[in-house]
Amino acid sequence: MRRVAVVGAGMTRFGKYLDRSMKDIGREAVDNALQSAGVEKSALEAAVVGNAMAGLITGQECIRGQVVLREMGIQEIPIINTENACASSGTSFHLAWLYVASGMYDMVLALGVEKLYHEDKRRSFAAIGSAVDVEQMQQILAGMKAQEQKEKSNGEKSGDGAGAGKSRSMFMDFYAAAARHHMERHGTTQLHFAKVASKNHNNGSLNPHAQYRERYTPEEIINSPEVAFPLTRLMCSPIGDGAAATILCSEEKARELTTKPIFVRASVIGSGKDMQPGDDDIVTRSATRAYEQAGVTPREIDLVELHDASAPAEILGYEELGLCPEGEGGRLIDEGITEIGGRIPVNPSGGLLSKGHPVGATGIAQIYEIFLQLRGEAGDRQVEGAKTGLTQNGGGMVRGEAAAMAIHILST
């Protein structure tokens, strides 16, 4: 397989765009990526589009990529639509990489685009609830409802709001449980998670594409409204709209186009499994394959964009990605090692917590950040001397483990 380079990247600011369509934000990201690469859209030989939830938000299923791209005159070439929940555009980047690595095409667009905001908020939450085994979830919820009614008819106190409405915070319930488990096992504290959120919000304040650009102290993070202990609202990624795009090409083409190609050293997709005692989790399994594919160790990674859908996921991510031994995630944030200027900066873009998390756009937005950083074009949040970066983009859940994981390693 051939070496593949990223030669252009673009994104919209993440935010709330009730008056803009998927076509409109998609066009902005693609135009920016083409301009960044210095190529015309007519040079594209194929396109892979990641989107998770347009079907349930707007009714647009089936041919989302064609609908978005035709509007800007990108047509006739193969257009692949892919989804993997919050890892949809990590997956679209992987397939674009595969097209070029295989030798089939020389110049391919990877796009992630998502609109989660809808005038009817219930529709947004229902769409997010589709990132699980829906049939199984309906059975669980029906069981909970039956149990509640039984307790009610027995005169017992009803549960804490379980039932259909519960699904909106299901992912955060899962993260809260994982956080509490880590606290019990390793002495991690709520303050550790607050420090992660504070760091990422501070980083995001330096990023013009971030949805939220306020700075917060760890105390302010802890004092924001509780979602599910130890999570507070400022430790959770927000709902948002946005798009991000990259142009991938062969090494030969890249050398013609730029003196600063960024190479894809590893592109790995993993899926969840039914865990047995002693099994590695999906992040560790996928990262191990990525390090092997790239021929690097975690010590050689200069910066990371990881999937901090909630602050505890970042502490767990430090350990799962091998940035520190198990149980020492809290120490990493205490010692400032993952701040910009630390030994291994994590989420210099602000991460999902501050930059935002329009799910199908997140994976490529992470790669956009690594692309800028490795080119030395990240402005106020530049990580000095960064040569190798890693992205981790997870999605969905089946039987208690993430359903999909995309890991990419890029280097100068």
* Residues 302-321 close enough to bind its own copies by CB under 8 A: none
Tell me: does residue 142 bind its own copies (CB under 8 A): no
- Closer CB to its own copies, residue 348 or residue 358? 358
Is 357 considered catalytic here?
yes
For its own copies, give the closer residue by CB, 8 or 272: 272
- Shortest Å distance, C-beta 134 to its own copies: 4
Query: Does residue 139 touch its own copies according to CB under 8 A?
Result: no
Residue 53, CA atoms < 13 Å, CB-side half-sphere: 30
Given candidates 38, 121, 122, 134, which one binds its own copies under the rule CB under 8 A? 134
Q: Which of residues 228-287 bind its own copies (CB under 8 A)?
A: 268-274, 285
- Pick the closer one to its own copies by CB: 233 or 399: 399
* Number of neighbouring beta carbons within 10 Å of residue 181: 13
Residue window 112-131: x/- pattern of binding to its own copies, with contact defined by CB under 8 A:
--------------xx-xxx
CA distance 371 to 175: 29
Check residue 322 and give left, alpha or beta (phi > 0: left; psi -120 to 50: alpha).
left
Please tell me whether residue 58 binds its own copies under the rule CB under 8 A: yes
- Cβ nearer to its own copies, comparing 49 with 183: 49
Q: For the beta carbon of residue 295, count every other beta carbon within 10 angstroms.
A: 10
Beta bridge partner(s), residue 11:
244
Stretches 99-107, 178-186, 314-322, 367-375: which one binds its own copies (CB under 8 A)? Answer: 99-107
391 touching its own copies, by CB under 8 A: no
Helix or strand or coil: residue 152?
A: helix
Where in 85-157 does DSSP place strands (E)? 107-115
Element (H, E) at 181: helix 170-186
Size of interface with its own copies, in residues (CB under 8 A): 60
Q: Is 373 in the site for its own copies (CB under 8 A)?
A: no
| Dihedral sign from CA coordinates of 92, 6, 10, 214 | positive
Q: What is the DSSP string of 231-264?
A: EEGGGBPPP-EEEEEEEEEEHHHHHHH-S--EEE
Give catalytic status of residue 181 as yes or no.
Answer: no
Distance CA(359)–CA(56), nearest Å, equals 14
The single-letter DSSP state of residue 13 is: P
Q: How many residues does the structure list for the chain? A: 412
Catalytic residue positions, numbered: 86, 357
Site residues for its own copies per CB under 8 A: 1, 21, 23, 46, 52-53, 55-56, 58-63, 66-67, 70, 75-85, 88, 91, 95, 98-99, 101-104, 126-127, 129-135, 268-274, 285, 395-396, 398-399, 403-404
